[in-house]
Each structure stands twice: as C-alpha cells, then as structure tokens.
Amino acid sequence: MATEKKARRDALNESHVWQVYARRKFEEPLHEIGNVMADDVELAKVYARSIYDEFAWVEMVIVPRETIVHVIET
Amino acid sequence: MSTTTRRIDHAALFAVLSSLADNKQAVGRRYAYWCNGAPALEAAVAAAAMTQDELGHARTLYPLLDNFVQAEADLSQVEPETRTLHYSLAYLDRDFAGWADFVATNFLFDTALTTFFEAAQQSSYEPLRQRARKIVQEERIHEMHGEGWVRRLARAGGAVRATMAASLERLWNETLCWFGPNDDPIMQQLYREGIIDATPDELRARYLKKIMPTLQGLDIEVPVAFNASNKQWELTGALPWERWDAVGRRLG
C-alpha cells in the first residue's frame, strides 16, 4: 500500500525547471523573475503566469533550465 | 436588494443565467479546497488563481438575475449570500474525492461552460455578451491547465491514470447533458432570439471538437467517434435524459 502511494507521488513529481523572464516596459530588457517546476510546457506557462502575476508584464518567457549553456562558471 | 425599476420578462434566459452563476460558484468553491492541497506548490498557486476566476465569474453573473421579472418571486434568490437554490451539477454537490476530480471538472465541465460563453460572444443580450467575452479570455489559461493535467495524469499510467479516467467517466454524462436535449425549449429560445448562436446539439458538437483531440491523443476511451463524412465528433451512446432535471439543469 505504502509502495503504491509512493509510486503515485513519484509519478506526479515534477522534474523540469523553467527559468521565468519578464519585463514591464518594452524599453526594458527581460530580466529573471524566478522559476517554476513542471514537466509539461503548457503547465509551465500556466504556473509562470499565476505565480508571477504581481505586475502587468508586457512580455514573459520561460526557458528550460537544462538548455542554458554556461560561458563562465565560477 | 432591487437595483432596477424595469425588469425583463424572460424565463429562459433567467434559468440559464441562474445555472451558469450557480455552477461557476460551485466550481469555485470546490477548487478552493485545493488551493493548499494540490500535488505541487505551482499547482496550488494556479488552483488559487482559478478559484478566484471562477468565483469572480459567478460574482459578475448573479447581479444579472435582479434584472428579470422572474426574480420577483423571491428576491433573496438573486443574492449569492441568501440564495438557497443550487442549480449546479450533482457532481459538484460533494467535495472532490481527489485531485483527479479537480482536473476532470476543469477539463470537462468548465470547458463546456466556456463553449456556451463562446456562443454568447455576439449575444443579442448585451450584459451577457460583455461578460462572455471576458470569461472566454480568462478561460484560455484554465483550458491550458486542464489539458496539461489530463496529459500529466494519463501519462503517469497505472492507478493515477485509472483514477483520472474514473473521474472523467463520472462527470461525462452530466456535462454533455448540461447543454440540454436538442429540443430543450430554454436553449432553443435563446438560439432563436440570438442570445446564443447555436442549438444544444451544435454546442455539443463544438464542445467535442475542443476536448476530443486531447482525449484521443492519450487513448482515453469515451463514447465518441469521428464521423469522416461530416468531419465531426459524434456521441456513440445515448445520454441519460430519463434522469435529466430540466429546472436544475443537472442529472437526478
């Protein structure tokens, strides 16, 4: 029974992190405002919109963290 | 409290607006429980936002009831705080048994209500037209949430998928019945008067067109088949109209 519950939990654990970027004015650059965890891109979009809704953004984008390539890393 | 001096005498529109408001209110209340019970923090925050949206939709619909002659029979019924009638689905009478019920309600039933509001975006009844456009806009993100979670639960497989399939099955008939039988005098009157631009059968066809690509893509079995000759999704089984409560727009 406990194993079954754990299996259900594991099946629903999100493993992908998405970095969230947004800007309030077109003349501003996009800046990082946080991240969300979701395995489904559409859910990641829903989560980003509902969590980071403190401003009337003119643009918001999400980027899968694993696609980020480090140029300098100390 | 009455805010109008000249009320409209329109029993059909009053009935449908009552059902829309009660269902939005019931959906919002059921969602509310999951604001801190969703499987993840992100899903909980989204559930909170959706709860606010649904209760907000109900809040914009209830005041319309006061504009009708039919409200005069009992003015306490037009205020959500004093209303004792609940013309919402039987499925929403009880707490959700689990997260799968939240997902099923959002994916199936809320999408059905949105299909109705889409059909009212050019409504001859201006207050509904205005609200329908805003609701349709806000519901886009709910649809993304519903489709996304149906995919998540279906692909998880095993008991998770089976639980979601059971939730969808429990809600299926009542959702499809909500549009009414095709000769439903209420919906047919709204159609004839340009309050909505579709008959009950047309609303059902539009609704199936919205939900079926997701269900078919995930091999979730529902009694629907694609008719290649008219390029429409069609129900393969009869709906349980013998249990249809035309006043409450729900199954008994």
Question: b/e string for B122-158 if b means 16 or more Cβ within 10 A?
Answer: ebebeebeebbbebbebbebbbbbbbbbbbbbbebee
For B13-41, how does the pLDDT look when each residue is reduced to its tens digit (9 = 90+)?
A: 999 999 999 999 999 999 999 998 888 88
Domain count across chain A: 1
Site from B142, B152, B218 to mutate, A interface, most A CB atoms within 10 angstroms:
B152
Three-state helix/strand/coil letters over chain B: CCCCCCCECCHHHHHHHHHHHHHHHHHHHHHHHHHHCCCCHHHHHHHHHHHHHHHHHHHHHHHHHCCEHHHHHCHHHHCCCCCCCCCCCHHHCCCCCCHHHHHHHHHHHHHHHHHHHHCCCCCCCHHHHHHHHHHHHHHHHHHHHHHHHHHHHHHHCHHHHHHHHHHHHHHHHHHHHHCCCCCCHHHHHHHHCCCCCCCHHHHHHHHHHHHHHHHHHCCCCCCEEEECCCCEEEECCCCCHHHEECCCCEEC
Confidence of residue B80 (pLDDT cuts 50, 70, 90): confident
Please indicate, yes or no, if residue B4 is contained in any of the structural domains: no
Give the integer Cα–Cα distance in Å for B235 and B225: 6
State the residue range of the domain holding A35: 15-67
The predicted structure's pLDDT at residue A1: 57
Contact B46 A46 (CB under 8 A): yes
In a domain, B3, yes or no: no
Nearest to B149 by CA among B111, B203, B204, B115: B111
Partners of B245 in beta bridges: B250
Using left for φ > 0, alpha for ψ between -120 and 50, and beta otherwise, residue B96 falls in beta
Cβ B28 vs Cβ B51: under 8 Å: yes
In a domain, A1, yes or no: no
Query: Is the residue at A7 inside a domain?
Result: no
Total domains, chain B: 1
The percent of residues in chain B predicted with pLDDT above 90, rounded, is 90
Q: Does B152 touch chain A (CB under 8 A)?
A: yes
Question: Is B141 at the interface with chain A, CB within 8 A?
Answer: yes
Which tokens is B214 given? 């997701």
Q: Are B207 and B186 in contact (CB under 8 A)?
A: no
pLDDT digits (tens, 9 = 90+) for A3-58: 766 666 666 777 899 999 999 999 999 999 999 999 999 999 999 999 999 899 99
Domain CATH code at residue A25:
3.10.20
From chain B, the residues in CB contact with A49 under 8 A are: 141
Tell me what the pLDDT averaged over chain B comes to: 95
Residue B40 lies in a domain: yes
Mean pLDDT for B69-83 is 89
A63 with B61: CB under 8 angstroms?
no
Tokens read off for B185: 């005098």
pTM: 0.91
The answer to whether residue A33 sits within a structural domain is yes
Does the model's ipTM exceed the 0.85 cut?
no
Task: Say what percent of chain B tops pLDDT 70.
Answer: 98
CB A12 to CB B49 under 8 A?
no
Beta carbons of A40 and B49 less than 8 Å apart = no
CA–CA dist B96, B92 (Å, integer): 8
CATH number at residue B130: 1.20.1260.10
Domain that includes residue B56, residue range: 11-251
Q: Average pLDDT of B108-127?
A: 98
Position B142 pLDDT exceeds 90 = yes
When mean pLDDT is compared across A12-26, B2-16, B178-192, the lowest value belongs to B2-16
Please check whether residue A4 lies inside any domain of the structure.
Answer: no
- Tell me whether residues A37 and B141 touch, CB distance under 8 A: no
Q: Is residue B124 part of a domain?
A: yes
CA separation for the pair A34, A32 (Å, rounded): 6
Query: What's residue A8's pLDDT?
Result: 64
